[in-house]
Structures are given as C-alpha cells and as structure tokens.
Chain A
Amino acid sequence: MTKHKPPAARPSPSQRRLLEELTALAAAHAPDLRITGRPRTGTDGLVTVPISVRTSNMPHVAGGLPLQQSEDFLLTLPATPMIPPQVRTSHIRFAGTPHVLQGNRLCLYLDPAREWDPAAGITPVINRLWQWLTDAAAGAFDAATALYHPVGGVLHHTPGTATVVVREPVPHRPATAWLTQRTPDRLDLTCAPADPHSHRTPILPVDTLPLGAGSTLAELLTLTRPPTAHDPQTADAASPALLTALAASALRNPEDTPQHFVLAVRHPTAPATPVFLLVGRLPPQAADTLRRLARRSTPSRLGSLPEELADVPLAWCYLSDERPEVTTRRDTLRPVRVFQDCHIHIWGCGGIGSWAAEMVARAGAAHLTLSDPGRVTGGLLVRQNYTEEHLGMTKATALASRLRTLRDDLRIDIAAPPPDPALLKAADQADLVIDATVSITAGRFLDLLAQQPYRKAVLAQLATDSLTASLGILTIAAPDTPTSLSAIDHTVGGHVLNDPSLEAYHALWDEPDPGEELRPTRGCSTPTFHGSAADLMATTATLINMLGTQMRHPVSGTHLCAQPHSGAAPAHRFIPYPTG
C-alpha cells in the first residue's frame, strides 16, 4: 500500500484576495512594508505571512516603546473574512506595552464587530499596525483606557464559566474573599460570606503580568513570579505564596467543588490606581487533589508545584467589575441622572407608575415609596410592568418585588394610598412625589401638600390619554411655590383648550366619549383605556426625561408630549404656569 502525503492546505478565496492585496500594497510602499517570506497555510486553515515594517522614521519619545530600524511581524489571515487578521511577533520585546496580549500578540481591534469591515481588505489592517507602532514609539497610549492587556484581556475568559460580579473594594495584598453562587451564571465576590454556601477564595496580589496569566497552573505560577526574577523558560520556579493560598482555601471548601482565586494586578504605569482583577478557577478534580495534598502536609509546606497538578487547565471567569472606583455609570449625562440617590414617592403603580418606578430605580434612586392597593390581574400584563408571577398581588407589593430584582441596594417602602395621614410628611421628606393615579382624591391630597411651608419635594403628576396612551402630560409644582397642581392644571388647561394648535391635546382635559374607553370584561366593569406596553413605556419614558430635565431647576407648569407614531403635533410643548 502506497503511503500518500496529505495534500497541502490551500488558502481560501478570501485569504488569496488578502494576499494579493498585501502583495500590491507592499509593492506600492516598499521599503516601508515588505513581505519577507512565503505565506504558509497551516493545518488549522490559517495563512501566516511574515512581513516587515520600516520603523526608522517613527518619532520616538522618552518612555515610548524602543523600536529597531524595522520590525518583523507574522500576519495571520483567518480562513473566513468575517474574522480580522491577527498580528504577532516572534519575540517578547513588546511585552508590557499596552495592547499587547501574552507578550507577542498585538491587539489591533478592541471591538472587531464595529471596527473590522470584512469588505475593506488588508489595507486597514496594515494601517492599524502602522498606527500602533507610531503610538507605541511616541508613548501615546492613554494609561487609563489602553489596558495592559493581560489584566481583563479577552484571552482571560473561558466559555461556560460563570460571571463573577465584584462591587466591593479589593486590596492589593493577600486576603480572603468569598464567592457565592447567585444564579447558574453568576458568582458574587464579597469580603464576607453572603450565606453558608459561600466559598473561600484567595486574593493574590500580583505586580504585573506582561505575558498573561497562562492556561495551566504551572504557567500561572511561573508567570506570577516577581518580574525581576522573570524567566519564562524556567517552568519549575513556582510562586509558593500562590500555591499555599490556593491549598489553604481549597482545604476549607467542600469536596468536589472548584477552587476559584482572584489575581489583583497593579497597573504597570499607574500603581496607585485600583487594581485590575482576574478570576481563575481550578476544576473540582484538581481542587480535590490539592485538598488531599494539603491534608498530608500543611499548605505552607507544599513546596514546589506537585507534578500531578502542573498541567491542570485553568478556567478564567468573565468579570463584571462594578466597583465604583473603576466603573462609570452609563447614564451620567442623561436627564435621569438627577434621580440618583433620591427618595421618590410613586403613587399609582399602573400603566404609567409601574414603568416610571422602574426607570427611576434604574437611574439610581436610593429609596422608593410605592402606593397602590389595586391588584394585578392578567389583562394588565399587556401594558403594565408586571409578570405572571405577580397575578393576585397588590400592585405596590408586586412592583416592589420586581424592583428588588433590579438592584440589590434599593430601599423600597410600601405606603397606604393618599389621603392616608401617614403621607402628610411625604413632601417634606422626599425629593419627589409622582402622582400617577389619575385620582381626584390623590390630586386633592397633593394640593394639600403643596401648601406646606418649606416643603422639599417637587410635586409631579403624570398621565397619558385614555384613547391611545401615546400622549403624555406632566404637571409640575416647584418646591418654591404653594400653587396646587389642580390650579396649574386648570390654568394650563384653559390655555391649551383655547389654542387650536394644541388640538391634539384637548382630549386630556375633555371627558372621554363612551366608545373611547374600554370595558375589558363583561358586566359592570371599570372603564379602562387602550394602550400597549410600547405606548406606555415610551410615553412614560418621555415624561420621566422631561421630569428629570426639570428637576434641577423646577418651574411650575405642564409638559405635553406625543409619541412619533401618533402623528400629533407639536410633539412637545411646555406651558409654564404664570407667576407674579
């Protein structure tokens, strides 16, 4: 039988196109760009091309990356054009420079989905490489945003691992933290055990990780050695402190459970800033081996890495780093920022109130007081912020339970509806009272609160139209005025009804026609209104944004707004309440 040599892999059409473009580019830009060897197609389908970039003319500043006259790279072309080419070096001289992964891989695309255009060809890739070299030589990377990639880099994520949520400060010193499973996909890292099932997790301080943290325990122990003693070729020089901490934690955690650990890594150029975090995981079997070894000999006497653990594969967990010192809220420039840390009363948890509550809760309100004794029934789910789980509960109770699932740190009270005397101090104690009840009684009660001297709260009424729920009305009584919301509404209503250009909003002051409201069930059912969740969420969101905009400098008056699909014009109008 003749033994045939397997046919050499051939470049895919997209790889051939990139190679042709690269050849043409090099010919046009010699000697700045040169192809220095033959393209090779690996068994994995990747095509690798050696290239050289002339860097002698790139300005170098003190602290910038030292470059040779020209630099060599390996350009790897994926078999599919949907993945961007990669650039790496055959040396580790660039290790420690921002945007270098594992010492030799250049990160040219932070977000390939938005930055890589499969139709653009090879030229943008070479331009990005050129720009990287120019910036590196000039020391132009911003230390705050250009992460030192081994920390938090994309390579430290093993598919299938749970996400670790970190909200508490993490020190750069050896310490013990606790991991608690909250959902199958989530582990919370805390400085104290959250429940009896929390697992001990060592925090291991590391100065820098220029070559990454590796994929086996042996690599990890080698790479986390102090940089002065760094020698990646020496595999047996393990970090005894790390191994000891791992063994000590494993010993006190249950059998057959994985052992996690946290690497707290200093920023190489900004050591005073909060540490970067990596969370790794030893599989249960390896953790059990570590436990067994630690029982034989105290953890501190384990010495060098036992051979049976050397090649244990590490998993790296995705990290949701929510520590305030490293995280910026995504809404800080938006109108709702004003609700952050506020105490807000929400009276009426229906089509408007249930969504308004969620919006201010997500905006960071510290304390909500909810009031609505109505019950959640199935028909409401098409437009109100409830789920099947809430059927039969009072709306305030149901909404509180929903909001508690949004944020752990939100305080929620449930109050009796106005005019309960317990609410008489509401306007003095809260920052904002939102009446979304469309209740005459609640409106009257708010009028009473408006008269209170030195009241603190902005008083606001939110409503939509009973025909389509796509119009919105927001009436505000500023804290510095005793004018009641009823008076504002009455005055503004007169203005609106006399203004033909606001005809679309006349219905907000008019009694609905018999056919406009809906009687959803047979018999003497309470009239309700038409409107979808989309209508009510959109209208409520618009009103909440208006309210947020006004909260900083409240002016008494009324906002009218309409959703784009309603076609009502004008889409927004503010009618100030005349003063003086």
Chain B
Amino acid sequence: MQCRKNFDTFLKNTVNLSQAKLTLLDVRVEAIYQALKADPELGPLIRGKKPQGSWAQRTIINPVGDSEFDADFMLHLTENTEWADSPKTYIDKVYAALHRHSIYGAMPHTRKCRCVQLSYANSMHVDIVPYLQLADGREVIVNRDANTWEQANPAGFTAWMQKKDGIANNNLRKVIRLMKYLRNHRGSFTGTRSIILTTLLGERVEEIKPLTDPGCYSDVPTTLLTIVEDLDRWLQARPYKPSIADPSGSGVTFDHRWDQATYSYFRDRIHTHAREIRGAYDEPDYDRSVRLWRKLFGDAFPDQPRPAASLTPAAAKFATPLLITTTSRTGRAG
C-alpha cells in the first residue's frame, strides 16, 4: 500500500526539520548578517545574503540524535581588486570580522574550505559562504584550500530545483528528504554527499514521465517509488562512476565529491531500496505494508490510525452517540 497518510505524518513528525528550528535558523542568520554588516572593515563590502544548500532548497532534515543541524548562507560581497590574487582573503576577512565581534568572537568559529563556520552551543552551526560576482561576470565562491575561485550559480540551482519539484507536484523535495533520512538515520549509502544525492534524484524527474505513467508523481510514496526505481535503472546501466554535472549550469561537476567505491556502494544500496520500496508499495495488506515501510525507514515510520467510515472520532473529548455521519469534515468537496 502507498500509506500516503503515514508518509505525511512521518515527514511532518520525524523527517522534517521542525518549524521552531527553521525559525531559529532565520533569526540567527539574520543576527550574524547584521553583525557582519556593522563591522567597520567588512560591512562596506557586504551587498546581501541568501540562503544556500539544503536550507535554501527546503531539503533540510532533522539531524540524527544530538547531531548538529546547520544552515549555509551566502554572503554576497563586493569584489576587492587588491585581493584578486588571493581569493582566500575573503574568508579570512569574514573570519576576522566574527573574531572581532563581542558575542561571536567568544563563540567557536573556524575557517573551512569554502566558508567560515560559527557553532552554537545547542547542536547547530551556521556556515557563512563568501560569494562574489567578479568584474568579468563570473559568479564565484572561494576555495580556501586551493586559494582559487569556484564557479557557482545559486539562482540556477534554485530554478532547476523549482522546475523539477514542480514537475513532481511538489513531491521531489519530500522524496529528497526521505532519501537523506535513509542515508543519515538508517546508515544507508553513507559517503554520498547531499548535493550529489539531490542532483541524481532531481535529474530523474522528467516531464514526459507522467504522460506515459499518469499519477507517477501524484503523492509522496508514488513519487518515491517512481524516482528511486528510475534512479536504480539509471545506476544499473552505469557500473562505473558517472560524471555528475552541476544542474545549475555553472559548468562544474561534482565528480571530486565521491569515488568509485562510494559510488558502487550507493549503486548497490539504491538497487536494494528500489526493491524494498516496490515491495512495500505493492503489498496489499495494510499491516504487512506498514511493516515493510518500517523495515526501510525504521520504527519511526508511523502506523497511522485508520479512519472509520463516517463515524464520530473516538478520540473526541465529549463522547456523543454513534452517528452515521461525521462531526468533522471528510476529504470531500463539491
């Protein structure tokens, strides 16, 4: 069975990052941004900010146990020609601005390859990614390790995601979250980075698919089945690690972010999951189907209370005589 309602509950209660945490992210990122703008040295260079990564693409999920959850945001800076020969200067300057700050300077903060990371006490960190549009038109972020520019096209990636999610009736992002949950919480295909997983899943969504298979993106479980089976077929046709291009059209690839061993493991795991998803989806018995979904997603996958036909909800606080009607709305419209 599809167990659509179970998936809705699973996503809402277990997989998705809670609204409270999302709000906290918003507040903290805004505070950091205002602090950096107020910095006398860095502030004049700052042109804006925009969310990035899974936070921006709404594919962020709850972290495992006490693990940290994070948010990336791009700090849009004006190009300083004096630093043209040393792109890492931008990261250093952001780091220095945080370091000078009365609050953030006292918090753990460190320079990473492409960002400055600021850590909070309660299992959360924020990655600040300097981003520039160079005079020659290139949109770039910094690779501090190599002290070079890396091409980026955040707007292109967002547009790609919106297009693919639209084709999938807004179910692609939910499927990506489910697959990330499978990776993080179930320990499946570890080693495959989120950007690669997102790209591979998103690239499987095609406009022509619903023409030959109507309803294939109609709800979350069906979309999960469709995309994972399509991904499985694609992977099985490629024994060797394929080149994965950035779908934003930046021209770069993600090839360096995994190797043949990681790829082969991922390929095998997806093959297994495709079979498991098909088994749970096609299982006609509700209880057995839920057991199969749980085998895949773990015990957090809920056993949704099944609705009774047009009966007063038993959980109502004030019991009423059993009526052949309902006091709440059914899923009907006229």
Contact = CB atoms under 8 A, between A and B. Distances in A.
Interface of A: 348, 350-353, 436-438, 440, 443-444, 462-469, 473, 484, 486-487, 489-494, 496-497, 500-501, 503-504, 506-513, 515-516, 527-529, 531, 564-568
A511 B324 contact: no
Complex A-B, nearest 5 residue pairs according to Cβ-Cβ distance, in ascending order: A567-B215, A493-B309, A529-B333, A463-B332, A438-B334
A509 B330 contact: yes
Contacts, number: 118
B332 A464 contact: yes
Contacts of B284: 500-501
A566 B325 CA distance: 28
B171 interface: no
Contacts of A564: 214
A568 B4 CA distance: 13
Interface in B282-334: 284-286, 289, 306-311, 324-326, 328-334
A468 B218 CA distance: 9
A505 B215 CA distance: 14
A184 to B, nearest CB: 38
A511 B306 contact: no
B222 A464 contact: no
B5 interface: yes
Identify which of B222, B329, B330 gathers the most chain A CB atoms within 10 Å of its CB.
Answer: B330
Contact of B216 (A464, A529, A567): A567
A489 B331 contact: no
Contact of A513 (B5, B306, B308, B333): B5
B214 A566 contact: yes
A487 B323 CA distance: 10
Identify which of A468, A490, A494, A565 gathers the most chain B CB atoms within 10 Å of its CB.
Answer: A490
Identify which of B2, B8, B210, B334 gathers the most chain A CB atoms within 10 Å of its CB.
Answer: B334
Interface of B: 1-2, 4-5, 8, 210, 213-216, 218, 222, 284-286, 289, 306-311, 324-326, 328-334
Nearest to B285: A500
Contacts of B326: 440, 511
Nearest to B283: A500
Contacts of B324: 484, 486-487, 489-490
Nearest to B310: A490
A29 to B, nearest CB: 48
A443 B334 contact: no
B50 to A, nearest CB: 26
A464 B325 contact: no
B329 A462 contact: no
B333 A469 contact: yes
26 contacts: A438-B330, A438-B332, A438-B333, A443-B325, A444-B325, A463-B333, A464-B332, A465-B333, A466-B329, A466-B332, A467-B331, A486-B325, A490-B310, A493-B309, A493-B310, A497-B309, A500-B289, A503-B2, A504-B2, A510-B5, A510-B331, A511-B329, A511-B330, A567-B218, A567-B222, A568-B218
A511 B308 CA distance: 10
Nearest to A512: B331
B307 A510 contact: yes
Nearest to A567: B215
Contact of B325 (A440, A468, A510, A568): A440
B215 A531 contact: no
Nearest to B309: A493
Contacts of A531: 333
Contacts of B333: 350-352, 438, 463-466, 469, 528-529, 531
Given A489-B310, A496-B309, A565-B210, A463 B325 contact: no
Nearest to A349: B334
Contacts of A464: 332-334
Contacts of B334: 348, 350-353, 436-438, 462-464
Nearest to B331: A507
Contact of A497 (B216, B289, B308): B308
Contact of A565 (B215, B311, B331): B215
A494 B328 CA distance: 17
B309 A566 contact: no
B309 A567 contact: no
A394 B285 CA distance: 47
Given A444-B325, A467-B331, A500 B1 contact: yes
B163 to A, nearest CB: 19
Given A352-B334, A507-B331, A509-B330, 5 more contacts: A444-B325, A469-B333, A497-B307, A508-B332, A510-B307
A309 to B, nearest CB: 63
A508 B333 CA distance: 9
Contacts of A444: 325
Contacts of B210: 565, 567
A439 to B, nearest CB: 8
A487 B328 CA distance: 17
B89 to A, nearest CB: 46
B218 A566 contact: yes
B1 A508 contact: no
A140 to B, nearest CB: 47
B330 A510 contact: yes
Nearest to A465: B331
A465 B310 CA distance: 15
A512 B307 contact: no
Contact of B309 (A494, A512, A513, A528): A494
Contact of B310 (A436, A486, A512): A486
B14 to A, nearest CB: 15
Nearest to B214: A567
Given A464-B333, A497-B309, A566 B1 contact: no
B179 to A, nearest CB: 21
Contacts of B330: 438, 508-512
B98 to A, nearest CB: 38
B36 to A, nearest CB: 34
B220 to A, nearest CB: 12
A428 to B, nearest CB: 24
Contacts of B328: 511
Identify which of B213, B285, B328, B331 gathers the most chain A CB atoms within 10 Å of its CB.
Answer: B331
A93 to B, nearest CB: 58
B218 A506 contact: no
Contacts of B309: 489-494, 496-497, 509
Nearest to A353: B334
Contacts of B307: 497, 506, 509-511
A383 B70 CA distance: 42
A465 B332 contact: yes
A507 to B, nearest CB: 4
Contacts of B332: 438, 463-466, 473, 508
A487 B322 CA distance: 13
B331 A508 contact: yes
A463 B218 CA distance: 20
A62 to B, nearest CB: 59
Contacts of B331: 465-467, 507-512, 516
A28 B307 CA distance: 78
Contacts of A436: 334
B310 A509 contact: yes
B273 to A, nearest CB: 22
B229 to A, nearest CB: 15
Nearest to A491: B309
Given A440-B325, A486-B324, A565-B215, A497 B8 contact: no
B208 to A, nearest CB: 14
Contacts of B4: 503, 507
A445 to B, nearest CB: 12
Contacts of B289: 500
Contacts of A515: 8
B1 A503 contact: yes
Contacts of A528: 333
B205 to A, nearest CB: 15
Contact of B286 (A348, A351, A352, A500): A500
Contacts of B215: 565-568
B329 A512 contact: yes
